[in-house]
Amino acid sequence: MRITQGAFSFLPDLTDDQIRAQVQYCIDNKWAVSLEFTDDPHPRNTYWDMWGHPMFDNPDAAALIMELNACRKLYGDRYIRVVAFDSSQGWESVKLSFIVNRPAEEPGYRLDRQETAGRMIRYTTRPYAADRPAGARYG
Amino acid sequence: MPAPALAETQVPQAAAPAAIDLREEFETSGVKDVLAELDRDLIGLAPVKRRIRETAALLLVERARRRMGLAHETPTLHMSFTGNPGTGKTTVALRMADLLHRLGYIRKGHLVSVTRDDLVGQYIGHTAPKTKEILKKAMGGVLFIDEAYYLYRPENERDYGQEAIEILLQVMENQRDDLVVVLAGYAQRMDRFFESNPGFRSRVAHHIDFPDYSDDELLRIAEQMLEKQNYLFDTKATAAMADYIARRRAQPHFANARSIRNALDRTRLRQANRLFESARGPLDAKALSTISAEDITASRVFALSSGEGEGK
């Protein structure tokens, strides 16, 4: 099941040129771009691992593409996303976030139903991938 | 909202033009302005200007060929600037960045000027991130490495400079579209550097040698520097400055235009003191902006008998 998170997630995967153009747009707006990766695809997992520091002072998107390729080399079997932060309000807030790399196989989610008192049902979504320990979930 | 860039890459390319007017390209691309500025603002440096003109012509033709579909590879643009200190290497590098930007060979046109300290780390594992950080900053522009030969220290085989060199070479080769590297330094030491690092020699296409300025050119540079700050020499001061330049050249640590700039800074200091101590009554603009001979001749360069100058 294809994970759809962030911007462009219903489009086909962006090519590197398209990623570069989007990132350049972010940089031209003075947003700091950074890369994050994870192997826990749960939609409520907001704490992805950072790949290096946010890139505050690179005027050109080629820098991010270089880091992205380095990140893919190591974590090509995980989800990688680009996050752009805007600090113009005085605090850093996410302006744009989109997935730039995903595992070849995405097993999807299981829906657990828990029956509780009074015929009430609680629902939980659980990624199949999360059954395995972190670091060994894909590939 | 996100950029409307998605569609951009999918637009089919416009058909190649049948003919290109180089003259018109030369004027509309802004190359003409950059070259004219170079001619106007930089005194002397005739061989350098000629080389830049040649390079500009090559790049212009290359761009026209690319548009017609005759060339696909990005030409190697990495350069080495060799010459003594104060001969205008950094200034020319700035202009070169502007030129390449206008021709569309680099996307941003900024110049990142670094030395060994910015690239090489202090301990194991420090160098690679440091070098990469600088490379990332320079992408889309020009990376200017001053005194590049310090990167290579043959006397210490465990020197971290080697690691920086390897990363640099890799990026210079694989990301030629993304940045242009300019290596700068004294001619002799650069030659030795290239000899011991054949990888650099083969990846650097343009070697530009910066000659020393003549006394006459330095005097004109001095006048231009003063003019920019709204000062001027009186007639005697011009003669004194010419004398100063000749004497200063004979002394150690002579750094061409940089020495002149420092000398002018000290001259302005002495002029201010002279005015402060001797002025009776109000001073007009002319008095405040005129450098006279005594401001220059007070320099320690004149105190030393020429030829056996020592110290700094």
Give the ipTM of the model, two decimals please: 0.79
- A94 at B interface, C-beta within 8 A: no
What are the start-end ranges of the H helices in chain A? 16-28, 62-75
- A12 at B interface, C-beta within 8 A: no
Q: Which residues of B touch A60 (CB under 8 A)?
A: 107-108, 139-141, 178
Mean confidence (pLDDT) of chain A: 92
C-beta neighbour count of A48 within 10 angstroms: 18
Nearest-neighbour CA in chain A from B107: distance (Å): 8
The answer to whether B143 and A65 have CB atoms below 8 angstroms apart is no
| A8/B110 Cβ within 8 A | no
Q: Would the pLDDT of B6 be above 70?
A: no
From A11, which residue of chain B is nearest by alpha-carbon distance?
B6
Instruction: Tell how strand A93-101 and strand A121-127 pair up.
Output: unpaired
| B136/A55 Cβ within 8 A | yes
Measuring CA to CA, which residue among A136, A43, A135 is closest to residue A97? Answer: A43
C-beta neighbour count of B71 within 10 angstroms: 14
The DSSP-derived string for chain B is ---TTTTGGGSPPPPPPS---HHHHHHHTSHHHHHHHHHHHS-S-HHHHHHHHHHHHHHHHHHHHHHTTS--SPPP--EEEEE-TTSSHHHHHHHHHHHHHHTTSSSS--EEEE-HHHHS-SSTTTHHHHHHHHHHHHTTSEEEEETGGGG--TT-TT-THHHHHHHHHHHHHHTTTT-EEEEEE-HHHHHHHHHH-HHHHHH--EEEEEPPPPHHHHHHHHHHHHHHTT-EE-HHHHHHHHHHHHHHHTSTT--HHHHHHHHHHHHHHHHHHHHHHH--S---HHHHHEE-HHHHHTSHHHHSPTT-----
Q: How far is the first Cα of chain A from the last one, in angstroms, to the nearest whole number?
A: 16
Q: Which residues of A touch B178 (CB under 8 A)?
A: 60, 62, 66
Nearest-neighbour CA in chain A from B110: distance (Å): 9
Q: Would the pLDDT of B307 be above 60?
A: no
Measuring CA to CA, which residue among A99, A88, A98, A97 is closest to residue A31? Answer: A88
How large is the average pLDDT for residues A125-136? Answer: 89
pLDDT digit string, tens, across residues B9-38? 444 455 667 777 888 888 888 888 888 888
- A86 at B interface, C-beta within 8 A: no
Q: How many CB pairs under 8 A join A and B?
A: 62
Q: Would the pLDDT of B227 be above 80?
A: yes
Residue B69 confidence (pLDDT): 84
pLDDT digit string, tens, across residues B260-297? 999 999 999 999 999 988 878 888 888 888 898 888 98
| A25/B140 Cβ within 8 A | no
Would you state the structure tokens that stand for residue B66, as one six-digit string? 């690319």
Instruction: Tell how strand B206-210 and strand B79-83 pair up.
Output: parallel
CA-CA distance, A24 to A62, in Å (whole number)? 9
How large is the average pLDDT for residues B129-156? Answer: 92
From A65, which residue of chain B is nearest by alpha-carbon distance?
B136
Report the range of poorest mean pLDDT among A40-44, B117-121, B304-308.
B304-308
Mean confidence (pLDDT) of chain B: 86
Q: Which residues of B touch A96 (CB under 8 A)?
A: 2
Nearest-neighbour CA in chain B from A89: distance (Å): 17
